[in-house]
């Protein structure tokens, strides 16, 4: 008999059946068809309204309590030379978030979005994946994933997930390579500014990590051996949001690695996720294609912090406002097609 794993609860969240929302979905589709515009003229805004109803069961959909959650973590792989910034920046950026001075503070403020920042012990790096597993045990991984449940506490109705952690594009590259193949070079980009010899060193470190672990079938084992705390917490947040009916707006390259882990458990387990933007990080396009998803924005951003998610939530709010606030042809006395 196999021992029960502390990860089993999370695996179940990925496949647990969801309530039947077909009635609400039909109601939103019916209202959409009656709004004073040519059918389909609001394009992806209409898709977003349908998506929100499918996830939440609410018709018309509403976004009144959006939140961006930023998970901050520290990575042992930094000692291999993968980033132009020192690991000490993690704690400094946490202070900037607290003081309202980082980019994500401005973007949340501009769109009326709540912001929560989780310090996943940035003073203690996770294992250097080039030499050892990121997490010492399934239990340690499960404990970090459990932060995801806190992320959706308090009736948040649209959750943006983002991260901060020097070295985490290297870790994300390792996760993608383990899930999708292709090798280290296929998944490494410049991150916060790794170019020239530093880029070569980053690719080499990721390649050593992949060689160390060999092929891995189980996505949560990929996460345990090659991931990092912010990716694990985002995996937990995506899984928790799924069964709670909370739409998730996934930020960029690193946040998408969390979605890739969940998607690899069960493709339908990311049906409640929207992808905020196509990052300027070179391999994000490949990651989005591997998941078969189309992002909302393409603004050459590559900062992380949930900045793309915050902008995308502005679009999601606008979509809900259009669907909910527009008149129907009958209400407005507007003539339909002649």
Binding site for a copy of itself (CB under 8 A): 35-45, 83-86, 88-89, 92-93, 95-96, 99-103, 105-107, 109-111, 192-193, 280, 296-303, 307, 310-311, 314-315, 317-318, 321-322, 324-327, 331-338
In terms of DSSP H, where are the helices of 196-296? 196-213, 219-226, 229-244, 253-265, 284-291
Q: What is the C-alpha R_g of the chain? A: 20
We find the least distance from the C-beta atom of residue 151 to a copy of itself, in angstroms, to be 22
* β-sheet bridge partners, residue 126: 75
- Determine which helix (DSSP H) or strand (DSSP E) holds 164, and give its type and residue range: strand 158-164
Residue closer to a copy of itself by CB (options 268, 327) is 327
We find the least distance from the C-beta atom of residue 85 to a copy of itself, in angstroms, to be 6
Residue closer to a copy of itself by CB (options 146, 297) is 297
Residue closer to a copy of itself by CB (options 15, 106) is 106
Residue closer to a copy of itself by CB (options 101, 139) is 101
We find the least distance from the C-beta atom of residue 29 to a copy of itself, in angstroms, to be 17
How many whole angstroms separate alpha carbon 51 and alpha carbon 35? 17
Half-sphere CA count of 3, side-chain side, radius 13 A: 5
Structure-token match 């080039």, residue found = 130
Half-sphere CA count of 77, side-chain side, radius 13 A: 35
We find the least distance from the C-beta atom of residue 263 to a copy of itself, in angstroms, to be 23
Residue closer to a copy of itself by CB (options 57, 324) is 324
Phi, psi of 337 (to 5 degrees): -60, 135
Closest C-alpha among 250, 237, 226 to residue 168: 226
Residue 294 in contact with residue 286, Cβ under 8 Å? no
Task: Let me know if 62 is a catalytic residue.
Answer: no
We find the least distance from the C-beta atom of residue 61 to a copy of itself, in angstroms, to be 13
Phi, psi of 127 (to 5 degrees): -55, 145
Report how far Cα 275 is from the mean position of its chain's Cα atoms.
Answer: 7
Q: 23, 32, 305, 331: which one is catalytic?
A: 305
We find the least distance from the C-beta atom of residue 106 to a copy of itself, in angstroms, to be 4
Residue closer to a copy of itself by CB (options 29, 103) is 103
Q: What is the dihedral of CA 27, 31, 34, 39, to 10 degrees?
A: -90
Q: Can you tell me whether residue 17 is helix, strand or coil? A: coil
Closest C-alpha among 56, 28, 103 to residue 244: 56
Instruction: Point out the residues that are catalytic.
Output: 305
């Amino acid at each position: 008999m196999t021992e029960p794993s502390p990860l089993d609860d999370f695996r179940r969240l990925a496949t647990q059946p969801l309530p039947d929302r077909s009635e609400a979905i039909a109601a939103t589709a019916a209202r959409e068809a009656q709004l004073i515009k040519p059918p389909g003229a609001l394009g992806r805004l209409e898709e977003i309204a349908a998506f929100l109803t499918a996830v939440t069961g609410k018709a018309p959909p509403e976004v009144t309590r959006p939140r961006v959650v930023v998970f901050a973590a520290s990575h042992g792989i930094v000692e291999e030379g993968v980033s132009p910034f020192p690991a000490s920046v993690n704690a400094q950026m946490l202070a900037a978030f607290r003081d309202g001075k980082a980019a994500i503070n401005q973007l949340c403020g501009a769109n009326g979005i709540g912001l929560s920042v989780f310090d996943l012990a940035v003073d203690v790096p996770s294992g250097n994946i080039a030499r050892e597993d990121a997490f010492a045990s399934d239990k340690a991984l499960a404990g970090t994933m459990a932060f995801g449940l806190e992320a959706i506490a308090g009736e948040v109705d649209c959750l943006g997930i983002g991260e901060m952690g020097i070295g985490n594009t290297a870790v994300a590259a390792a996760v993608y390579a383990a899930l999708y193949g292709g090798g280290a070079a296929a998944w490494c980009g410049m991150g916060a500014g790794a170019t020239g010899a530093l880029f070569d060193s980053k690719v080499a470190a990721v390649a050593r990590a992949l060689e160390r672990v060999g092929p891995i079938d189980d996505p949560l084992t990929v996460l345990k051996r090659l991931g990092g705390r912010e990716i694990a917490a985002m995996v937990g947040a995506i899984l928790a949001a799924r069964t709670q009916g909370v739409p998730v707006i996934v930020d960029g390259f690193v946040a998408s690695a969390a979605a890739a882990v969940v998607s690899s458990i069960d493709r339908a387990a990311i049906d409640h996720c929207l992808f905020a933007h196509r990052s300027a990080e070179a391999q994000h396009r490949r990651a989005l294609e591997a998941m078969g998803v189309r992002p909302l924005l393409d603004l050459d951003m590559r900062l992380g912090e949930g900045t793309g998610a915050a902008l995308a939530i502005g679009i999601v709010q606008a979509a809900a406002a259009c669907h909910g606030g527009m008149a129907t042809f009958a209400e407005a006395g507007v003539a339909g097609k002649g």
